[in-house]
Every structure is written in structure tokens, then in C-alpha cells.
Amino acid sequence: MYPLSKRCGAEFFGTFWLVLGGCGAAVLAAGFPQLGIGFAGVALAFGLTVLTMAFAVGHISGGHFNPAVTVGLVAGGRFPAREILPYVVAQVLGAIAAAGVLAVIANGQQGFDLQASRFAANGFDAYSPGKYSMAAALVTEVVMTAGFLFVILGATSKRAPAGFAAIPIGLALTLIHLVSIPVTNTSVNPARSTGPALFVGGWALEQLWLFWVAPIVGAIIGALAYRLVSERGPQA
């Protein structure tokens, strides 16, 4: 096993890549006139960030890149609780750094307005892309994150085909975004939500609580559900 410092470094860079690639696709490319990639392109971008970094550094840190995943893996018996805090700190710092780089790039466009663009921040009610309620956002984030953890635990099981876990995990994140971007702009990742929210401020920070609470609750539910159906328990 790699030292904790190296594993946290891998989590920093992995989360940096996730936020830069996923949120970057949303901010810079999703609505580009006539050639925009749209929701499907943004969904694919998020999936590709996890897929690529899981192969790049997953063998170092486990490839969490997400505080909810870290907590879920603890609930699933796959990760020690004593290492939650350093992992989460590294993930949040990586997300903030990526949001900072993205802000510099985006502000290089003439007429860009960070507040008007909403900077890929997550939200509900008036700040949901589809104007979905807080209740709808809460249910969406809980259920989607639960499903994500279920896939992660199954794909990384010792009984699953070795060496391919990053593929279903990346595809699962793509699917999650295809479903939930209209509802919340898709979080399922408190670090991903925190980076852009710090730059938008105001409403994004006021609503940030939901994008910490719901994914973490969902991750725990998903992990417990997997343990319930797994034939060999938490180490299956």
C-alpha cells in the first residue's frame, strides 16, 4: 500500500481532473453556439474523467475522487474510517483548485459573466436547470448516489472481472448525469459541488448543504444495500 500522503495526492489530482473535465465541459462547451455538446456531452465528460483517472491513479489511492464514495466505501467495509478526513480534504482541495483554473479560463472569453453562467454549480428550485423542487433534488441525489455506490462495490468486488472496474464505474456516472442534470445539474459528489459554489457564492453556498447531505446519505444506503445482497458480505 502507498503512504497516505501519496494516496491523498492521487485523490487531489483525480478530483481536480473530474471537476476540470466535467464542469469545464458544462461551462465552456455545453452551450457553445451551434457546436455545443449539450447534456449528453457533459454527462460523457464526467464519466470519462472518472474512467481515465481510475486507470491512472486508482491503483494508488483506490480512485474515490468523491467524499461520498469515501464514506460509502467505509460503510461497505472497504476503507478504514480513520482515513476519511485526509481523503475528503484532498478531494475538496482538488475540486477548488480545478474550479479556480476553470474560472481563469472562462473569464478569458469576452463578455463572460460567472454569476450569469452559474458556473456549473448545483442547485434546486429557481437554480435547478429544470426548476425542480428541493424535495425532488434531495431524492435524486440520494438515489443516484446510492446506485453509484452499488455499482462501485460490485465492480470492485474480488469476484468481478479484474482490471475492468473503471469502465462500469465511468459509465454509471455518465448514466447518472444523463438522468439528473436537468434536476440539480448533477452532484453525487460533495467536492464537485463545493468547488464551483465557492466561486459563485450567494445562492450556491446557501444550497450547498443539500449536495453534501444527500450524496453521503445515498452512498451509505447504496453500500448497505450491496452488503445486504452480496453473498460474501462486505469483502465480496
Between helix 134-155 and helix 67-75 the angle, nearest 10°, is 60
CA 4 – CA 66 distance, rounded (Å): 16
Q: Is 236 within a domain?
A: no
CA 193 – CA 120 distance, rounded (Å): 9
- The candidate with the shortest Cα–Cα distance to 10, out of 52, 49, 68, 64, is 64
Residue 231 has pLDDT above 80, yes or no: no
Q: Would residue 92 count as lying in a domain? A: yes
Give pLDDT, residue 35: 75
What are the C-alpha distances in Å from 13 to residues 9, 60, 99, 223?
6, 12, 13, 25
pTM for the model stands at 0.95
Confidence of residue 232 (pLDDT cuts 50, 70, 90): low
120: confidence class by pLDDT, cuts 50, 70, 90: very high
Look up the domain containing 147 and give its range.
Answer: 4-229
pLDDT digits (tens, 9 = 90+) for 77-91: 999 999 999 999 999
pLDDT for residue 13 is more than 80: yes
Q: pLDDT band at residue 31, thresholds of 50, 70 and 90?
A: confident
Query: Does residue 234 lie within any of the structural domains?
Result: no
Give me the number of domains the chain comprises. Answer: 1
The enclosing domain of 177 has a CATH number of 1.20.1080.10
198, 96 contact by CB (below 8 A): yes
Average pLDDT score, the chain: 95
More confident residue, 230 or 75: 75
Q: Give residues with Cβ within 8 angstroms of 32, minimum separation 6.
A: none
Residue 235 pLDDT > 60, yes or no? Answer: no
Q: State the residue for C-alpha cell 459554489.
A: 197
| Residue 110, in any domain of the structure | yes
Judged against a pLDDT cut of 90, whether residue 210 lies above it is answered with: yes
